[in-house]
Chains A and B, each alone.
Chain A
Amino acid sequence: MSKELKVQSWRPLEEVQKLFRETFQSHIFRLLQLREKGKPVGWFWAGSPVELAYVFDVANIFPEQYTAFCAARKKSDKLIDAAIEYQYGEFTCDYLKCSVGSILNSEAAPLGGHCGLKPDFVLDSRMCCYGHHAMSEIFANLYTEVKRFIIDAPYWTKEMVGKVDFLTKMPERISEEELEFVIAQLWDLMHFLEEITGEKLDEEHMKRVFEVSEKTSRNLIEIANLMLSKPTPMSQMDYRDFPAIGFFITAADYALHFTEKSLEIIKERVKKKEGVVEEEKLRLMSQGIIPWYSELYKYYEERGVTFPLNLYVESTFYLIEASKPLESLLRRSMLPINCDIDAWIESVVRRAKLADVDGAIMFENIGCRPISFGLRALKEVLWQELGIPSIIVEAPQCDPRIMPLERAILKMNAFIESLL
């Protein structure tokens, strides 16, 4: 960079990283224990009613989380190649290509492919995007014995929900027809789970599961709000682990423990006014799924560019209400990418003001239509309404060959120079 940003001492939260590793281990331990007890394995997508896996003691696998894990360890290329060789579309979601690739080329798949646990059922949820529905169909084709249960939610328009708080996923209202349609399907799903597990719904257990989930979800929301503090308290290299909690395992005791401890640590940092670097030079907003293989965030944070607002991470958080379990499960479908784009953009404008950001970096996740197709409209509004400039960087979330770090850095440096 011509206007050089000096490298400073970078301060990730090592304790949070350690806690996350322990949480991940606890999750694997739970899976193995459930398998030993002969419990069924279910594959779940982001935005689906994941609490039910804990209500019915199902071994819950998350193909997206698994593939993010593969990409972060730079083990995704062979998996993607296997999928393309089989002639899945080059421009389909990276999560699909990786996940299917781990089935087609199991030798190249870390952790034995999806933790070595083949599904007994796939929860096909059109609660987030069409891709999940299509991928479930693929799993049902590759594993011919697998049961595929479909749950459908509407694409939430303003007329149905009014304004939505996209951090908590709390809408102004929920239209009667949609509420009835989704709740009826959730009951069908619970009956299906009763059948597949051979166990009746235990309402007391369900209550406890949702109580844990509510506490975890409240912690995550508080953490997201603390992230807006000045200076930015946490590195994105730590924050990027949080979607795994918010999307998939809020109902687990180990997730609650992780968020409680992390919250304490972050609060302490905020209290001391300590940031991820000594001197914060620029505050940027980030949108799009994180390119898991990349250390881009670290590169910039070391140079004083911090990221107080990560819209993708925030999209994975929800306020779960133990008193309204089914409505909370329905609200899992109120992700920004499954809601009125204009309503979402309005909320981003509000959030960007709160975070007091200087610019925005948006990752165009090649193959992910709901995220990538809305970026340019967001870019336009951020500039027109707040005078916030932004840059779009091509970045598939799992394929490092498409976005070499150096090329992205070159492009982003030019943008950052213009902000200094």
Chain B
Amino acid sequence: MDSLTDVKRWFSKSNAINLAKELHVKGKKVFGLVSWSIPEEIVYAADVLPFRLFGNSYFIEKAHMYLPSWCCSYARSCLEEALNERFKWLDGVVASKLEDTCIALFYLLRHIMKPKFTYLLQVPVIKSEKGKEYFIKEIMRFEKVMEDFIGRTIFDEDLRRAIRVYNENRRLLKMIYEMRGKGHLPLRSAEVLDIVTSSMLIPKDEHSKLIKDLLDSVNKMRRREESGIEEKVRLHISGTEVLDPEVLQIIEDCGAVIVSDDLNTGTIYFWSEVDEKEDPYEALAEQYLLRGAPNILVTRQLSRGVDERIEYMRSLIEEFNAEGVIFLIDRGCEVLGHAYPHLRDNLRKLNIPSLRLDLDYPISREHYVTRVRAFIEMVRGKHV
């Protein structure tokens, strides 16, 4: 990697998709994943490429034949891609049962694409020992179905190796965030988003190599560049699947710097590691159900999910010295449609200012700019 221009090229979604397609042409099987809460390590251990399905279409036409316009833009744009036959090359589709939208999308993709392999993973909504026991069995069942499909056994060592490869990638992504937080990363958050989302599209070991190359280039360059981060308002971004770098760019263009997030396309995906010492099935169940970054859809018995999520946000806000939070909410997102008021109220109790931006396409740039600027002024004023 010679310059940071390469970063944009290497980590761009189109490049990642092309790379995945090339591997497929060479004979590698590729499965489209509808949700981030699937233990991808199982897929990777089977020598199949887990490829997170993202829609690129913000101009939705055909998807409206199946989904109403109030459905979230993630599902609509994924379906649009499928209807435009852009996912036709995939060998399989895997989704989790946590969200109703994901379930519906899974069945629609199955109906339209007719892939050779499909699996709906039963991720429990309850964080408990019983939930974990059940989830271990479910992971094993998923593995068995995968084995039948690929025609070979997935050995424990395959799985352990996959866990190690994934953990390394998690650590590297975390490093990127830590460097950005310290102002040591001359990249904009839109580019960081590309780095994270591309990790969901290409083999993790190759992605890790790219990050290492990037870090080498950055280390050489850092001495020459001033980031000017200290003059900017430091923000934390909250939401679910944020895929459009433009929104992040608008926020940073207004005089802010994004330092942390709790996005499914951000820290929620990679922040904590799978225990490499434990039995691999147990470790995966622990990670994806109990120990990992708090999934807002999964809750402990007799408690509130929002408390765990707020604690997670608070710890990131503190670690990265964020001064405010911007919620990016897709108007059709059911998860935040329910959770947002309580996240907002709890942040208020912690005296952390927040702003809600509704995501809708086409993006209304001027509208966002006005609101973000006012918010930044308000946050700045708080410190005067």
Contact = CB atoms under 8 A, between A and B. Distances in A.
Given A88-B341, A89-B331, A89-B338, A372 B68 contact: yes
A374 B337 CA distance: 21
B137 interface: yes
B333 interface: yes
Given A130-B99, A157-B120, 20 more contacts: A89-B333, A91-B70, A124-B299, A130-B98, A131-B334, A134-B339, A137-B304, A140-B304, A141-B306, A148-B303, A150-B125, A152-B125, A177-B141, A369-B71, A369-B100, A369-B104, A370-B104, A373-B68, A373-B71, A373-B104
Contacts of B350: none
- Considering residues A152, A181, A376, which has the most beta carbons from chain B within 10 angstroms of its beta carbon? A152
B122 to A, nearest CB: 5
A134 B104 contact: no
B305 A137 contact: yes
B331 A149 contact: no
21 contacts: A88-B338, A88-B340, A90-B331, A90-B337, A91-B331, A91-B334, A92-B334, A130-B125, A130-B334, A133-B299, A134-B335, A137-B338, A137-B342, A141-B304, A141-B342, A152-B131, A177-B141, A185-B130, A340-B107, A367-B70, A373-B100
Interface of A: 86-92, 96, 124, 126, 129-131, 133-135, 137-138, 140-141, 147-152, 154-155, 157, 177-178, 181, 184-185, 188, 340-342, 364, 366-367, 369-370, 372-374, 376-377, 394
Contact of B66 (A86, A177, A376): A376
Contacts of A89: 329, 331, 333-334, 336-338, 340
A1 B137 CA distance: 58
B332 interface: yes
Contacts of B165: none
B297 interface: yes
A87 B339 contact: no
B130 A181 contact: yes
B291 interface: no
Contacts of A131: 100, 334, 338
A86 B345 CA distance: 10
Interface in B106-159: 107-108, 110-111, 120, 122, 124-126, 130-131, 134, 137-138, 141
B174 interface: no
B339 A147 contact: no
Contacts of B373: none
A152 B335 CA distance: 17
A154 B342 CA distance: 27
Contacts of B107: 340-342, 374, 377
Given A92-B334, A177-B134, A129 B100 contact: yes
Interface string B68-112: 101100000000000000000000000001111101110110110
Contacts of A135: 338
A132 B111 CA distance: 27
Contacts of B338: 88-89, 92, 96, 131, 134-135, 137-138
A93 to B, nearest CB: 8
A148 B101 contact: no
A372 B67 CA distance: 8
Contacts of B364: none
A34 B359 CA distance: 47
Interface of B: 65-68, 70-71, 97-101, 103-105, 107-108, 110-111, 120, 122, 124-126, 130-131, 134, 137-138, 141, 297, 299, 301-306, 329, 331-342, 344, 356
Contacts of B339: 134, 137
A138 B141 CA distance: 33
Nearest to B102: A130
A133 B297 contact: yes
A119 to B, nearest CB: 13
B125 A133 contact: yes
B134 to A, nearest CB: 4
Nearest to A373: B104
A377 B108 contact: yes
Given A137-B299, A150-B125, A181-B130, A377 B141 contact: no
Given A87-B356, A147-B302, A369-B101, A126 B125 contact: yes
A156 to B, nearest CB: 10
Contacts of A147: 302
A377 B125 contact: no
A137 B297 CA distance: 10
Minimum-distance CB pairs A-B, first 3: A89-B337, A373-B104, A134-B338
B342 A138 contact: yes
Nearest to A175: B141
B68 A364 contact: yes
Contacts of B342: 137-138, 141
A137 to B, nearest CB: 6
- Considering residues B71, B137, B299, B333, which has the most beta carbons from chain A within 10 angstroms of its beta carbon? B299
A290 B81 CA distance: 33
Contacts of B126: 126, 150-152, 185
B277 to A, nearest CB: 27
Contacts of B344: 87
A150 B68 CA distance: 30
A131 B304 CA distance: 15
A184 B130 contact: yes
Contacts of B105: 373
Contacts of A133: 125, 297, 299
Contacts of A151: 126
A131 B335 CA distance: 9
A178 B135 CA distance: 11
Contact of B97 (A86, A91, A148, A154): A154
A171 to B, nearest CB: 16
B340 A87 contact: yes
Contacts of B305: 137
B225 to A, nearest CB: 40
Nearest to A392: B68
Contacts of A370: 100, 103-104
B1 to A, nearest CB: 42
A155 B120 contact: yes
Contacts of B103: 155, 370
A181 B126 CA distance: 12
A177 B136 CA distance: 11
Contacts of B336: 89
A199 B131 CA distance: 27
A404 to B, nearest CB: 18
Contact of A91 (B108, B111, B332): B332
Contacts of A148: 302-304
B141 to A, nearest CB: 7
A129 B97 CA distance: 10
A188 B129 CA distance: 12
B71 to A, nearest CB: 7
A87 B341 contact: yes
Contacts of A157: 120
A366 B334 CA distance: 12
A342 B112 CA distance: 13
